[in-house]
A and B are shown apart, each in its own frame.
Chain A
Amino acid sequence: MKIFNFIQSGKSEAMCGLCAHFQNDPAIIESTYAGLTIMSSGFASVRDQDGLCDHNQIYLSARDSCPHFTAHAGEY
C-alpha cells in the first residue's frame, strides 16, 4: 500500500536532532512557550524530543529531517 511509503522504520542520517537549527532543551522550550508549564511540562514524555527549528520556524520531532540540514557539533 502506498501509505507505507510514508512510514519510516530506521534512523535517518540527517535528522533534526543533529541540526544546528534545532533547539529542544526542555527549559528553553518552557521559556519560549509561556504558559506551557501551567498544565503541562517541557519535561513530559508526550513531548518526546520535539523542538523548534529556527530555519523553517516550525515545532517538530528531533527525528524529522529536511533539505536545510546543517550538522551540529552536539551528539544525539
Chain B
Amino acid sequence: MATTTTETTGVKASGWQEFWAKEDWWAVWLGLGIVALAYIFYLSGSSISWIAVAPGKWSTLSQLGTQFSKNGIKYLALLAAFLVLFSIVITFIGQKAKEFIPSFIFIFVLSTIIYVIGAWDQANKYNLEPPLVALLLGLIISNVIGLPRWLDAGFRVEFYIKLGIVLLGATLPFTLIIWAGSVAILQASIVSLVTFFVIFLTARKLGLDHRLAAVLGAGGAVCGVSASIAVAGAVRAKKEHPPIAISLVVLWAIVLIFLLPLVCRALGLPTGVAGAWIGTSEFADAAGLAAAQSYGNLAGHHLGIAGTADQALASYTLIKVIGRDIWIGIWSFVLALISVTLWERNETNSKVQVGQIWWRFPKFVIGFLIASILTTLIVHGNSLADYTKLVKPSLILPITSLRTWAFTFSFLSIGLTTRFRDLASTGFKPFLAFTFGVVVNVALGYFLSVVVFGHYWSAIVTH
C-alpha cells in the first residue's frame, strides 16, 4: 500500500459544498447542461451535432483520411470543449488543471484512435470491440510500457462513467424505467442479498473479521469498489480491509469484462437478456458498461444475435443503477447499525446516523433520472416519422455520440489505472470467500436473467 507524508487536513466538504466537491454532482451538472444545450439548439432549428463529432464507417484508409480532413476542426473543437468543462470540474474538486490537461489530451487522442478502429467495417470480423480494445490498450500501456504517475490526473474512471450514464438517461424513455424498474429491483435484490450472505458467511466460516466480511460482501453484491469503500466507512473497517476488497473486485471485474460477453455470444443471448445478466453479475458500473456495450455492438451483424446495442445498455443500466447502486446507503446504514450493536461496541462510542442513506446515495442517478424525464417530455407528442426524421438526428444521436466519448474515456482509464503490481495482496481466505460469491452470483444471475425474466429483458423497448 502506498504511504503518504501529507499533513492532516481534516474534513473539507460538507453541506452545500457537496454540490461542487463531489464528482457525482459534477456529472449531474455537466450531463444535464449538455442535454439542456442540445434542446436549446434543437428548438432553434439547429443541433449540437456539429461538435458531437464521431468517426463514420470506413473501409479504406483514403476514406478515413477524407473524413478527418473534412472534420478535423470539429475534433479540435470537441477536445477544446471537453478540456474547458473538465478543467473546471478538476479545479473545483481540488485537483491541478495543469496536470489534468496534458493527461486528458493523451486520453482524447487514444480514444479517437479506438473510436476509429470501432468504425472500421471489418472491426467485428476481428473482434475489435471498442470497449475491450480500450481496456486492453490501457492495460498494456500501464503494465508493460508504464506511464509517469502525474498522468493519472486525467484518468478519472468514475467521473467519465457517471457523466456517460447521465447522458445515457437522456436516450432512455422514462416510461421504460417505470415499466422495467420494479423487475430490475426485484432481480437485483435477490442476487445482491444471496451474494452478500454467501461471501459474508463464507468469510466468517473461514475466520475472517466481521467487518472485512461485510466489506467483501458489499463489494461483490452491490457496486464493487464503491460499495466496499462505503461500507468500510460505515462499519469502521480496519485500515487494511479496503485494499483487500479493491484488489478482489478489480481482479474479478476485469475477468468478467472479457468472460461474460464471450459466454453470452457462445449462448447466442439476445442483447437485452445479456445486458441484464451483466448488470446482475458485474460489480463496478464502468466494468459492466464495457462488457454490455461490447456485446451490444455485436447485434445485427452476421453472428445472429437478436436485439439492439441500446437494449443491452438499457437492461444493464436498469439492473445495475436502479436495481443495485441506489441501495448502497441502506446497505451502509443497516451494516453500521449491526456493527455498533454487535461487532465492535468497544472501539468507538459513536452512534449510527440515518442521514447516511442520503449522504452515501450515488447522486449521479438523480441526473440520469432527470435526463430521462426531460427527453421523454421533449419527445412526447412527436409522431414516429417526426422522431426518426427530426428528433433523433438533431437531438438524440449527438447526445449518444458524446455519451460514447465519455464511456471510451472511462474504459481506457480503467486500463491505464490498473497496475497489477500496485494492488494489495489479498490472502487466500478473502480470495476464496469472494470467489465463491462470484460463482454463485454469476450462476444465479444467469438463471434469473435468462430463465425467469428472459422474456421480459429480450422485449424491452428503447427509443
Contacts and interface: CB of A to CB of B under 8 A. Distances in A.
Nearest to B13: A49
Given A25-B9, A64-B348, A65-B350, A34 B243 contact: yes
B356 A44 contact: no
Contact of A7 (B233, B352, B363): B352
Nearest to B1: A34
B156 A62 contact: no
Interface string A38-76: 111101111111111010111111111111000010111
Chain A: number of interface residues, binned into ranges: 35 or more
Interface stretch (B164-172, B283-291, B429-437): B283-291
A31 B237 CA distance: 18
Interface residues of B, number: 80
A32 B2 contact: yes
Given A48-B359, A72-B8, A59 B233 contact: yes
B369 interface: no
Contacts of B401: none
B362 to A, nearest CB: 6
A6 to B, nearest CB: 5
B239 A52 contact: yes
Given A6-B337, A57-B239, A49 B287 contact: no
B162 to A, nearest CB: 8
B406 to A, nearest CB: 15
A23 B239 CA distance: 12
B246 interface: yes
Given A46-B360, A52-B239, A65-B350, A26 B225 contact: no
B278 interface: no
A41 B414 contact: no
Interface in B227-260: 227, 229-230, 232-234, 236-239, 241-243, 246-247, 249-250, 253
B349 interface: yes
A44 B158 contact: yes
A41 B156 contact: yes
Contacts of A45: 18, 22-25, 359-364
B225 to A, nearest CB: 4
Given A49-B11, A57-B239, A32 B225 contact: no
Greatest chain B CB density within 10 A among A9, A56, A64 is at A64
A39 B414 contact: yes
A40 B352 contact: no
Contacts of A38: 157, 225, 246, 250, 414, 417-418
Contacts of A39: 157-158, 224-226, 249-250, 253, 283-287, 414
A64 B353 CA distance: 9
A26 B10 CA distance: 11
Contacts of A35: 225, 243, 246-247, 250, 417-418, 422-424
B245 to A, nearest CB: 10
A50 B232 contact: yes
Given A25-B6, A41-B157, 16 more contacts: A6-B352, A32-B2, A39-B283, A41-B158, A41-B226, A43-B21, A44-B24, A44-B226, A46-B227, A46-B230, A50-B230, A57-B239, A58-B347, A63-B350, A64-B236, A74-B11
Interface of B: 1-4, 6, 8-14, 18, 21-25, 93-95, 152, 155-159, 223-227, 229-230, 232-234, 236-239, 241-243, 246-247, 249-250, 253, 283-287, 328, 337, 340-341, 347-354, 356, 359-364, 414, 417-419, 422-424
